[in-house]
Amino acid sequence: MDKLYLLYPERRGRIAPEIYGHFTEHIGGVFYGGMWVGPDSDVPNVKGFRRDVVEAFRAIRPPVLRWPGGCFAETYDWRDGIGPDRPTRINWWRNEDGRYEPNAVGTHEFIDLCRAVGAKPYFAANVTSVPPLHIRDWMDYCLSPRGSTTLAREREANGSPEPFDVPFWGVGNENWGGGGNMTPEHYADVFRTCALLMRNAAPKGRVKLFACGTSGDEYEWARGVAAGLFRSERQADGFAMHYYCGSAGDPLAFTDDEWDRQIAQAARIEDMIRRNYAVMVGYGLEERMPMVVDEWGCWHPAGSGPSKGKNLFEQQSTMRDAVVAALTLNIFNRHCDKVIMANVAQLTNLLHSLFLCGPDGFACTPTYHVFDMYQRHQGAESVGSVCENGDLSVSVSVHGGRTLITAANTSVRADAEIGLCPCGRPLPETGELVLLSHADPHAHNTFAEPDKVRPVRSAVNPRRPLTVPRASVAAISF
């Protein structure tokens, strides 16, 4: 039996609820062919969004939802998505999936979704193909008080008299690539220009502006942006890095060795957080530009999802993806002094999604259940821990006198038996274990078997040894 030491005197800070954020882009089957069916659909819906998605999503208390991209954001004109007569445009992803953008989901519809599920909106602003004034006007339209400006009155005419609460704004997306193919020095200049106008349009202290961060381990971008911003009065409120841990083998038929490789790729995000944050520390920006992990997750070859390739980048989610999600969230929890937000990509049908949905059905993925099991970490205080078993990824938090331990057994070969050793407070004799596990690590949920992988609850005695099966995720609370 290995020991798991709970270091209650070692407090690492508050786990920002926004670490459990999500991402939606106008790509593939995220909206169209996915959760958006329109208010007149025969499919039960909430203001055009599938009721099954809305209700399941609301149940895990999503703190933030990012939109409209992604790469889509850098060609998006917000005016296309308001009012009754909306144009059809070339979607950024048109050349890959053959779809055009109908703009049925725009600013008002997205705000409806956020309100329905209780999430704060996070808008990614286009800094590549529109002038800064265009972004300022979007903020005016969203944030200005009722009747105060021409754009506020236009918002009222479109059905929303009161301003929208949009507290988070990304100043561009992936500007090192699809967002303008910029150099870090040029982007820093663009950021300062846009931020000047954006802060002028927003109520003082009411919004946070996030600068475009690195793609994984491209630290030259981090250094270039930090060098361009550290003397500016218009600094960012976060550094929005992205990291996809890619794939290892087939998304459904992977080998044990490929499982190991996927886990190792996912674990690299911890070093990336430390090193990007260290760059900010070097420029004295750690308090003004903490880490925002705008996009993260697995990126497997497409075609394994229920659309069989119709939806771009659609893939199934197995127990391997659930363990990757648990490992990643544990890392964010342990580094809550550095990470203030993270958004898994994406919400429905695409990449590391929580939901699969379409004309033939609906299912929650194993990753969804991880977010459900971890939701009590939101707003809790992170506590130090040390585990003797190197295959266990662990994070611990306390809130209101209650301890939550989340543990992912990253080994696909061996169960883990642990004994809890508290430092600073005694263990009770009663607690609860929520276990997400399956005999087959390739197991996943489908429209035909939506509950094949689901968590099981049981009472436990925290003073006795606990078993975390191979390739599983456990949440222990007391």
Q: What are the residues facing 242 on neighbouring strands?
A: 215, 295
pLDDT of residue 233: 67
Residues 206, 209, 211, CA angle at the centre, nearest 5°?
170
C-alpha atoms less than 13 angstroms from C-alpha of 306 in its C-beta half-sphere: 24
From the candidates 55, 174, 220, 432, give the one annotated as an active-site residue.
174
Out of 134-148, 223-237, 307-321, pick the least confident: 223-237
CATH of the domain at 197: 3.20.20.80
Got the DSSP string for 299-364? Answer: -PPS--STTTTSSTT----BHHHHHHHHHHHHHHHHTTTTEEEEEEE-SBSSSS-SEEEETTEEEE
Q: In terms of C-beta density within 10 A (0-12 exposed, 13-18 middle, 19 or more buried), how is residue 399 classed?
A: middle
Judge whether 350 lies within some domain: yes
pLDDT digit string (tens) for 39-92?
999 999 999 999 999 999 999 999 999 999 999 999 999 999 999 999 999 998
Write the CATH number for 451.
Answer: 2.60.40.1180
Residues 366-398 pLDDT 10s: 999 999 999 999 999 999 999 999 999 999 999
Q: What is the pLDDT of residue 216?
A: 83
Residue 6 covered by a domain: no
Task: Judge whether 449 counts as a catalytic residue.
Answer: no
pLDDT higher than 90, residue 150? yes
For the cut 80, the answer to whether the pLDDT of residue 234 exceeds it is no
pLDDT of residue 95: 78
Q: Which residue has the tokens 């069989």?
A: 308
Could you say which of 25, 74, 295, 314 is catalytic?
295
pTM equals 0.97
Mark whether 309 and 456 lie in a shared domain: no
pLDDT of 113 reads 98
In a domain, 354, yes or no: yes
In a domain, 7, yes or no: no
Give the CA radius of gyration of the chain. 22
4-38: pLDDT as tens digits: 999 999 999 999 999 999 999 999 999 999 999 99
Give residues with Cβ within 8 angstroms of 310, minimum separation 6: 29, 33
Residues 373 and 419 in one domain: no
| Average pLDDT of span 233-259 | 94
Instruction: Please state, rounded to an integer, the average pLDDT across all residues of the chain.
Output: 96
For range 145-159, the mean pLDDT:
97
Q: Which helix (H) or strand (E) holds 208?
A: strand 208-215
Give the domain extent around 286: 14-379
Active site residue 295: yes
Give the model confidence (pLDDT) of 115-129 as tens digits: 999 999 999 999 999
Structural domains counted in the chain: 2
Complete DSSP assignment for 128-167: SSS-HHHHHHHHHHHHSPTTSSHHHHHHHHTT--SPP---
Is 5 inside any structural domain? Answer: no
Question: Of 379, 400, 428, which residue is a domain's last?
Answer: 379
What average pLDDT does this structure show over 453-460? 98
pLDDT digits (tens, 9 = 90+) for 270-292: 999 999 999 999 999 998 999 99
Q: Is residue 456 part of a domain?
A: yes
Choose one of 326, 350, 379: the last residue of a domain. 379
Residues 182 and 319 in one domain: yes
| pLDDT for the residue numbered 121 | 98
Do 172 and 96 belong to one domain?
yes
Q: Give tens-digit pLDDT for 305-363.
A: 999 889 999 999 999 999 999 999 999 999 999 999 999 999 999 999 999 999 999 99
**pLDDT exceeds cutoff 90 at 235:** no
Of the three residues 331, 350, 379, the one that is the final residue of a domain is 379
Contact (CB, 8 A) for 170 and 123? yes
pLDDT at 205 (0 to 100): 82
Q: How far is CA 224 from CA 184, 219, 475, in A?
A: 5, 9, 41
Q: How far apart are CA 377 and CA 329, in angstroms?
A: 10
Note the residue count of the chain: 478
